[in-house]
Each structure stands twice: as structure tokens, then as C-alpha cells.
Amino acid sequence: MTRVLITGAAGMIGARLARRLIAGGVIAGRPVTAMLATDVVASDLPGAAFPVIAEAADISDPATAMRLAAFRADVVFHLAAIVSGEAEADLDKGYRINLDGTRQLLDALRHAGVQPRFVFASSIAVFGGPFPDIIPDDFSPQPLTSYGMQKLAGELLVSDLSRRGLIDGVALRLPTICVRPGLPNKAASGFFSGIIREPLAGKTALLPVPDGTVHTHASPRSAIGFLLHAAALDTGKLGPRRAVTLPGVAVSVGEQIEALRRVAGDAAVARITRAPDAMVARIVSGWPTRFEARRARALGFEAENDFDAIIRAHLEDEHGGVVPA
Amino acid sequence: MTRVLITGAAGMIGARLARRLIAGGVIAGRPVTAMLATDVVASDLPGAAFPVIAEAADISDPATAMRLAAFRADVVFHLAAIVSGEAEADLDKGYRINLDGTRQLLDALRHAGVQPRFVFASSIAVFGGPFPDIIPDDFSPQPLTSYGMQKLAGELLVSDLSRRGLIDGVALRLPTICVRPGLPNKAASGFFSGIIREPLAGKTALLPVPDGTVHTHASPRSAIGFLLHAAALDTGKLGPRRAVTLPGVAVSVGEQIEALRRVAGDAAVARITRAPDAMVARIVSGWPTRFEARRARALGFEAENDFDAIIRAHLEDEHGGVVPA
């Protein structure tokens, strides 16, 4: 008897999570008995062995929060969010969706007397520079974007309400997800995926930053694994601080390229064109690079061990495990 | 031409700030030209050389925020808050006043196009244990009370909106204010003031914790000084992180008592009765003790140098500078 609510269910991660649960039918070792998947557009989901409701809803509308709470979920994956760039460009929208949306959903659950495992998708954007070489778990989060601020406020809500026993929350500080499938986007971080995804699809990709640029990545597959592990976690081990900085693979862009060469050969690498972009380089230079993530590893959160594995995961998930000709 | 808005203006600090501004007529080196003082009850303020409005208002009502924004203040002192114990006992009220109230006031200012110096009264309650012996400025705030969480969320709003140039904010992490004038209250921290104030008023005081208990204090006078200094501060020196952990006098209860003996003699000290209270001792043991506060000192925030000065400030402000017979 496990009822699952997913917000942001039409997003890259949300849709994969929903499909994984539909295919497996199990969460935290128990059968899924019903799923409510919501986003600004209704998710297109396959048939399941249990009732699945996919609906379009505005998470910033208090009436939506009350309706979602009435579903009485045992596990909530709260993934709905305005992404970093948009939250910076549209301040009202970012606060409305990322902060008020989270606040209202938690309020509605509380007023409905629903006390679920609440898995919140936070982000390494809660951290702002200057950074040490490797960010330890106790590094003070001081965001330098509105998105990071909103995610941190969400973490604080999750920890406070968990401390009070009103939810049983886990806030996951996700690293950059790579290789993102789909079309290239305009996110400043897009090239990290683009330089792998596009060459593997036989297309060219531009690299706007120096080869020495270091960043931490986890595959979409690992992201789903993080979420499912959080749903099953013994939260007694977390104590009152419910935010966890997750592990990933820290590599330089040059190391990403050499991994691509090992997995897919010189022809793939030849499709990458260096096109330095000072603005992108400046934005990326303000991002954290490596994380210690000791606490997450001790709690059993697992990412890939190297970037080759991230590329192979992408090939398996998007290309049937074969390097395209 | 400086218009000043004070929320929480009927509180111990707010009322003293309002009276100080009325008496001096100057803020940040410029004349005060108008003051709006608001709280849940209207403040009782003396006549001033400039228009003073004292009004009762519910800060958690969005209509209040819009009305306050319409005052078009150049300097806002946002002191209104539900205190720690009440915010823990009444979750809805604490979130409504401490979080929504701050959010709505900032929203209303933004939508009215008002970009004031915004001085926010935060608290050392943003910190939760375990603590190092001396808390450095970069110690990660991880609150363990709803009040601390709400204050930290307020700091994040102030920093984010300041970074975006929408306000020019300073969030002050105030230490415990001692000696609090007035009647004894039921706050767990009440005895820190009580063991000084009551003996000086010829009354007995109970001491519920061991003499070795260390805590950091600043006088009401220093608190007003912090607020006025924040109003005048060159915020260019703050950068994007607008929260400042303030200095204070870190002393053990035993040192407080010896200071009382030096200032007021053995007769005053004899009015303190040791009455160990395990529950109070447990609560207090979860509080931070000493702060480095280097950044605040470098920015020119000044507290007393020793606890004797704190007692003398109390005598001057509440007893005409004389040790009562």
C-alpha cells in the first residue's frame, strides 16, 4: 500500500522516475498502489498495474496543493521547479513556483494530516563561491542565484517540518545531470552534455570553455537511483539536517573528451569544436567543482565511478547500448 | 529627507529605537523627516520635530505590507517577529509572521518600486549545534528551531534581493540582549537578565543553570547601536552576503555574578538563589556560546568590552546611573 505523488512529472527526471515506478511497481521494497503525476503539462505515461493519474496543474496555486495533499501520498517526490536561468530572469515566477509552491504543498500536507516521506529535489546551486577545492559536507550554503536561494529555503522547510515530525523529509542536492538526453538547450551548463550527446548522435558540438574546467556530474540513471534511495532511506541516520550533498563524478572537460574517445573513438571526438565564449566561461567559473559527499556515500547514495560509465549509461538508455555508426 | 519605517516598534528594541530617532532626529548622518512605527499594538511615542505615525497593524496581512510600502521609506527597520518560544509552540503563527510577513513586506516594497536600506533583525538562533568553542563567521547556519529557520529564510531573502539591487539590505544576527529591562518573562534565557536586573531592583532572582554556563550578551543600548550602524553602513563592503554575526560579551554566569559584585556589591549578589532546573539547563546547553564576529567588528559594529559595562549601561538607562540602595 504505497501511494506515490510526483510533482514536475513531465520533466526529464520526473518522467523517467514515473516510468521506472510503473515498470517496476515497487518503491522502498513495497508495491506501488497508486500514482499521481503532475506538472504544468500532463505527462504521457504508459499503462501500469496500478491506477496512474497524470494531470496538468499549477503548483503555485494553493488549490492545487490542497488537491495534491488530498491524494494522501505515502511518498512524495517534489521535483517541480523553475530552472536556474528562468528563476533569475523572472523573479516573481521563480519565487512563486520554487518557494511558494514548496511551502504551499508542505502546508497542505500538514493541514490534511498527511505525513509522507517527502523527497525534495534541491541542487548544488545552494552553494555560492568562493569555494575550496573540494567542498566538504559542512560547507556553509550561501547561494548567489535566486534559484539557489529558493532551493535552500525549501531545504530549510523540509528540515524544520521533519524535525517537528510533520513530514519525513530528505532534500537531495543534485549535481549536474549529464548526459542530458534530448535537444540542446540554452542553459550555460548545456555544453557539458552537448559535447557527449551530439557527437554520439553524429552531430557537431561547440565547447565554450577551456579543457581544464572541472565540474561534477551524475547520469540521469543515478539521479533516479538517488530519488529511489531517498524514498527507502532510514532517516533516523540523517538526524535533524535533512539536506544531503550527493556524490558524482568530478572531471575536467578534457577528461570528459578522453572518456568519449575511449568509448566512441576519435571520430566522435572530432565532432567537438572549441569555440571559446568568455561569458559562458565566466558563469561556469562561478560554479562549485568537486564535492566530498561523505555523508551521502555513508548513507548509501551511489553515483558512477568514472565518466566512461556515465557515457555508457547514456548509450544504454538512449542508443540501445550501441555506439551509433 | 530620510523617511524611516520601523516594524515591531512596540517591542523592547523597537520602542527604544523609535525614541532614540525622535530624540536625535538624525539617521545615517541625515535628518529624519518622517517616521512610521507599526506593531500589533500602536506604540506610545513622544512628540517629535517630524511627523510620526504610530499604528497597529498585522504584518502578516498582505494589505498591511502594501500600506507600509506606500510610506516609501528610505530606511526600513524590520524588527517585527514572533519570539522563539511562541514560534515553536504555534507553527502557523511563526511562519505567518516571521516568514510570510518578511516576504510580503519585501514583495510590497519591490512592487511599489521602493528600494530602501533594509535592516533586518535576525538572530544567533540561525545556528544549531553541535558547535565549535568559538563560532567562526563562516560557520554553516543549520537552525534547530522554527524561529531560527524563519530568521535564516529572511536572511536569504534579504541577501537575494540585495544582490539583485532591489533593496540594500543588512541582516543582523543579534546576540542575546542583556540586561533586558521590565518584568521577568518565561523565556528560557530570561535568567541571564534576571540575575542582574532583579538584584539591582532589590528583588531576589533564581539561577537555574550551573555557574560555568557561557553565553554571549549585548546591552539594549548596543542593539540600538547595531541597528543605527547598519542603517549607515557602506554596504559595498558586505558584498552579496548580507547577514552579519554581531559581537557581544561572552561570559559565564559566574563571571556575570562577579561583575555584579564589582558594580553593586555583595548585597546584590546575595539576592541570587541557585535553583538548578534540569530542563532550562538542557535547553541552554543547546545554544551557541561564543562568536568570533570578525567581519562585524571589521565593519565597525561595536558591543561592550566586558560585562561590567553591560551592567553600567543598564544602571544608566534604567536607574539614572545609580546603584539603587
Beta carbons within 10 angstroms of residue A277's beta carbon: 15
Contact between B149 and A157 using a beta-carbon 8 Å cutoff: yes
Of B126, B10, B107, B4, the C-alpha closest to B64 is B107
Report the topology of domain A190-216+248-290+300-319: UDP-galactose 4-epimerase; domain 1 (3.90.25)
One-letter amino acid at B226 equals F
CATH architecture of B2-174+220-245: 3-Layer(aba) Sandwich (3.40)
Of the candidates A140, A146, A166, which has its C-beta nearest B160's C-beta?
A: A146
Burial A127-144 (b: 16+ CB within 10 A, else e): bbeeeeeebebebebbbb
Residue B185 above 80 pLDDT? no
CA B45 vs CA A56, B15, B18, B41: distances in Å? 54, 8, 8, 12
Average pLDDT over residues B51-70: 96
Please, which pLDDT band fits residue B323 given cuts at 50, 70 and 90?
confident
Measured N-to-C along each axis, helices A220-232 and A12-24 cross at an angle, to the nearest 10 degrees, of 60
Q: Are B71 and B105 in contact (CB under 8 A)?
A: no
Q: ipTM for the complex? A: 0.95
- Chain A residue numbers touching B143 (CB-CB < 8 A): 156, 160
Please, which pLDDT band fits residue A322 given cuts at 50, 70 and 90?
confident
Interface test with A, best of B60, B145, B149, B241 (most A CBs within 10 A): B149
pLDDT per position as a tens digit, A258-305: 999 999 999 999 999 999 999 889 888 888 999 999 999 999 999 999
Q: Considering chain A, what is the average pLDDT of its residues? A: 95
Q: Report the pLDDT value the prediction gives residue A286, as an integer from 0 to 100.
A: 86
Contact between A140 and B138 using a beta-carbon 8 Å cutoff: yes
Q: Which residues of A are catalytic?
A: 147
Q: Report the pLDDT value the prediction gives residue A21, as an integer from 0 to 100.
A: 98
Please, which pLDDT band fits residue B82 given cuts at 50, 70 and 90?
very high
Q: Report the pLDDT value the prediction gives residue A258, as an integer from 0 to 100.
A: 98
Assess A152–B contact: CB distance below 8 Å, yes or no.
yes
Average pLDDT over residues A127-153: 95
> If you count residue pairs, one on A and one on B, with CB atoms under 8 Å apart, how many are there?
45
Assess B165–A contact: CB distance below 8 Å, yes or no.
no
Assess A245–B contact: CB distance below 8 Å, yes or no.
no
User: How far is the C-alpha of A265 from the C-alpha of A200, rounded, in Å?
Assistant: 10
Average pLDDT over residues A6-32: 97
Q: Report the pLDDT value the prediction gives residue B269, as an integer from 0 to 100.
A: 98
The conformation of residue B13, written as its DSSP 8-state character, comes to: H
Domain segments of chain B as ranges: 2-174+220-245
- Chain A residue numbers touching B139 (CB-CB < 8 A): 140
Q: Are B289 and B131 in contact (CB under 8 A)?
A: yes
pLDDT per position as a tens digit, B124-161: 999 999 999 999 999 999 999 999 999 999 999 999 99
Contact between B241 and A138 using a beta-carbon 8 Å cutoff: no
- Chain B residue numbers touching A146 (CB-CB < 8 A): 160, 164
Of all residues in chain B, the percent with pLDDT exceeding 90 is 90
CATH architecture of A2-174+219-245: 3-Layer(aba) Sandwich (3.40)
How far is B197 from chain A, CA to nearest CA, in Å? 35
